[in-house]
Structure 1
Amino acid sequence: MKSLLDKINAKLNAQGGFLKAVSVLVGGTAFAQLIAFLSLPFLTRLYSPEDYSILGIYIALVSILSVVSCLRFDIAIPIPQQENEGKALLILALLSNTIFFILLYILMLLIYPLIEEIKVVKQLSYWIWLVPFGVYISGLYSALQYWATRHKRFKDIAQTRMTQAVFGNCTSLTIGVISGGFWGLILGQILNFSGGLLKLSTSAKKDLSLVASSPLKDTFFKYSNFPKYSTFEALANTSAIQLPLIIIASFIVGPEVGFLMMAMKILAIPMGLLGSAIAQVYLANANNYLENKELYGYTKTVIFKILKIITLPFIFLAILSPFIFTIIFGKGWSGLGVYILYMIPWFFMQMLVSPVSMSLNIIGKQKVALIIQIIGFILRVLGLVLWAILFDKGIIEYYFFSSFIFYILYLLIVMYCLKGK
């Protein structure tokens, strides 16, 4: 028995503890995803597809804005060898996030009279004023999470995800039982964004007190490619994912955006469970492999590991999805399984490329990453608008297919750049 445990421990600690770190993150995330999934059959009976359509609009707005709130200094935090540079990047990320939050509220005060009659703004009602707050806490969590990644505190990150799931889903369930209304979903989402902040901020505060200097000005210029290129790259990427929800809601009246939102939520479970865990560990170890000129081989190995893990689950999901989701979520969600079936190729490719996509930033190819995302934005957003104007049908199908093509292209370019490096 002891020999078996020793073998398992040795396997987990192989390749710099890659599997062990992933297993810690997957464990915490699995608990979070289990809570979220077990809550869904109750939430879908308390909230309608139309309620989830409004939630989808709120999440889309927060997601698009939050990727630029830290000017991408947050994703650079794990990269430098020097601790004082890492501290400087954390401070720059937190300052950027706070300034962006203030400017966003000022901008909303100025433009609200001009946009209040827009359909999606009317749907959100006065809850639109919580968008800047959602952006702020999302940016704050991102900066602190990357600081924890720098110090390989994967257990802390896993615990915060558990906290987020419990707080967010319990809030939505409680409000749904007591009063109903889509605002219960929005408040639950805000708590989902903010869960675990206290734990991460306490650890970060202790760390920062031990680092005497933080060269803000020098660090800002040294990592200036992140705000110059990575910010627009991330904005294009997130907009290409989230803007179609707003576009589809503007062209289609009915529960379709709710189905789309729920399908993305379900298919994001393996991404949240496995993809984000692998991405955290990949980012924490990639710099060492780059120094040894082994990043291409390391990345290829990670991709093949993902492929082995996800192929069978996606096949089973494709077979079962047209039948099981009506039973689980109720008759009001009878069209959900078809949406999930059509989206599987897109999410399969996304699962392969997303965990290693940060490699372009690590090797200094921010310009390439930006160009990829601009192409994706043109294909998935501008193409969708053009299709919606020219054709009455197939708007959602176009979104699915264009996303699938984009992630194939993305994977090929990432591997080409790494091989050249």
Structure 2
Amino acid sequence: MALLNKIKFLKNPFLRRVSLLVGGTAIGQFISIISLPILTRLYSPEAFSNLAVYVSVLSLLTAVSCMRLEIAIPLPKSHKIAAALCILSIVSTILFSLLITIIILCFPDLFRILTDNKIQKIIWLIPLGVLAVGIYNALQYWSTRNKKFKLISKTRITQSIGGNSIKLGSGILFNGSVIGLILGQFLSQSIGFINLGLSLIKNDWNIFKKLKLYHFKVALKRYDKFPKYSTLEAFANIGSIQIPILIIASYYMSSETGYLMIAMQILAIPMTLIGGAVSQVYLADAAQYFHQGKLKQFTLRTIINLSKISFLPLLFTALISPFAIPYILGDEWQRTGTLISWMVPWFFMQFITSPISMSLHITGNQKLAFFLQIFGLTIRVGLVMFALKFDDSHIGEYYALSGFIFYLIYQCTILSIINKK
């Protein structure tokens, strides 16, 4: 944590905030990286395929659990309106989790069919995971609004240590049982909201105590586009990534899903390490630049800087992965190395596009963002279904190509919009 304290001396506020988030995320990612070669030897590709199904289902549900009101928390000038949005997000998550619990109790076969019976033994982790992750997301955006990036950074370290410890311990004690792998994933995604919640109670509770019905009405009226358009947009966005995974897992290629998951996990490291941090800080600052009429310059500068730091490392990763992955993860993970090479163009475009995607919300283009995500869902599911029918031995390659096409079109649209604004 001494590194995090030194970062305070950075003069550029944007870089300082990014660095604070990157510092904690880097430690968390380092723990995950050193754990991965052990995990791939403790658990089979089929176990990771089951984990991929759980992650896909949980990601789809948590994307809409807050009705996307959490995204609006950093935007209002009034702290009370922002606090109302935070409360509404948490209440939405609680109600949504209860609804999922009722569906599981009343229609137990529904999730079994959707997940091809791969996670039936731990189905109770679905509503619990939605509840924990949804509350964490709401509190994280409240902390983002208040520039508490060091606190967010600490929670990410806690998540990584807790999640990977459970995965490693369960793999050793229970001979690679997939239940331990999924329990660790649940912990790594959800733990951390306690610290954020305690910080809110300690430092910001006076704001929440003064809330009245008026503030909730204003919040819902002013930011009604988020539930109307952004909820479906978020579902389509996550769905474009996770629904193809569920489709592949439901067919005979169970190992392919595991290979895909590990490839995506490795390439997501720079996204999580830097892209996620830049995205949060971009959202915290972009509203101010928009009001000043400088959003275009700020966005272009962000894209250029992200391109500079990502192009060469990702190119090197594409070239070396087919040869290095079998040595790092084990011989049975050769396919993962090949998929990483194919996925590099997709993740490069995602790395430089995702952090600036919030500009569509800031400029009031939630409807356009929704249609873009529907397009992404269509093209990605469409290419996977095409591969299943005509070239199933290269289904991972088709999946990677669809991601590149989508983010290329997404970025061109964003640049067109902010240029007009």
Q: Which of the five TM-score ranges fits, normalised by the shorter chain?
A: over 0.9
Match of 2:154 among 152, 159, 170: 159
Aligned to 1:98: 94
Change (3 A) 1:115 1:310: closer
Match of 1:206 among 199, 202, 211: 202
Aligned to 2:3: none
1:143-158 aligned at under 5 Å gives the runs: 143-158=138-153
Paired with 1:194 and 1:317, the residues of 2 have a C-alpha distance of 30
Aligned to 1:35: 31
Is contact 1:121-1:128 (8 Å) kept?
no
Q: Secondary structure at the match of 1:123?
A: coil
* 2:11 aligned partner, one-letter code: N
Is contact 2:31-2:160 (8 Å) kept?
yes
- In the TM superposition, residue 342 of structure 1 has moved relative to its aligned partner by 0.7
Match of 2:136 among 130, 137, 141: 141
Paired with 1:253 and 1:419, the residues of 2 have a C-alpha distance of 45
Aligned to 1:60: 56
Paired with 2:333 and 2:23, the residues of 1 have a C-alpha distance of 30
Deviations 1:121-176 (A, max 9, x none): 42212212211111111111100100000000000011010000000001100111
The aligned length equals 410
Aligned to 1:50: 46
Q: Quick check: 1:191 aligned with 2:187?
A: yes
* 1:285 aligned partner, one-letter code: D
Deviations 1:2-33 (A, max 9, x none): xxxxxx978x333xx00111111111110000
Aligned to 1:171: 166
- In the TM superposition, residue 389 of structure 1 has moved relative to its aligned partner by 3.6
Paired with 2:382 and 2:316, the residues of 1 have a C-alpha distance of 33
- In the TM superposition, residue 286 of structure 1 has moved relative to its aligned partner by 0.7
Is contact 2:104-2:111 (8 Å) kept?
no
Change (3 A) 1:169 1:279: same
Paired with 1:47 and 1:282, the residues of 2 have a C-alpha distance of 38
Q: Quick check: 1:379 aligned with 2:379?
A: yes
Paired with 1:393 and 1:323, the residues of 2 have a C-alpha distance of 20
- In the TM superposition, residue 119 of structure 1 has moved relative to its aligned partner by 7.6
Paired with 1:92 and 1:254, the residues of 2 have a C-alpha distance of 39
Aligned to 1:364: 364
Deviations 1:299-356 (A, max 9, x none): 0001100011111111211121111111111122122110101111100100010011
Is contact 2:49-2:255 (8 Å) kept?
yes
1:19-418 aligned at under 5 Å gives the runs: 19-114=15-110, 116=112, 118=113, 120-179=115-174, 180-211=176-207, 212-214=210-212, 215-418=215-418
| TM-score, length basis structure 1 | 0.94
Change (3 A) 1:34 1:217: same
- In the TM superposition, residue 391 of structure 1 has moved relative to its aligned partner by 4.7
Is contact 2:116-2:250 (8 Å) kept?
no
Paired with 2:26 and 2:264, the residues of 1 have a C-alpha distance of 17
Is contact 2:24-2:157 (8 Å) kept?
yes
| TM-score, length basis structure 2 | 0.94
* 2:400 aligned partner, one-letter code: F
- In the TM superposition, residue 397 of structure 1 has moved relative to its aligned partner by 1.9
Is contact 1:243-1:381 (8 Å) kept?
yes
Structure 1 residue ranges (4+ consecutive) displaced by more than 6 angstroms after TM superposition:
none
Paired with 2:211 and 2:249, the residues of 1 have a C-alpha distance of 49
Is contact 1:87-1:208 (8 Å) kept?
no
Change (3 A) 1:36 1:392: closer
Is contact 1:248-1:396 (8 Å) kept?
no
| Structure 1: unaligned runs, 5 residues or longer | 1-7
Is contact 2:339-2:396 (8 Å) kept?
no
- In the TM superposition, residue 110 of structure 1 has moved relative to its aligned partner by 2.1
| Structure 2: unaligned runs, 5 residues or longer | 1-6
Is contact 1:150-1:284 (8 Å) kept?
yes
Paired with 1:393 and 1:322, the residues of 2 have a C-alpha distance of 17
Deviations 1:241-262 (A, max 9, x none): 0111110112233411110000
Paired with 2:169 and 2:391, the residues of 1 have a C-alpha distance of 42
Paired with 1:414 and 1:138, the residues of 2 have a C-alpha distance of 28
Q: Secondary structure at the match of 2:150?
A: helix
Paired with 2:237 and 2:409, the residues of 1 have a C-alpha distance of 13
Aligned to 1:4: none
* 1:195 aligned partner, one-letter code: I
Deviations 1:48-104 (A, max 9, x none): 111000000000000001010000011110010100011000000001000000011
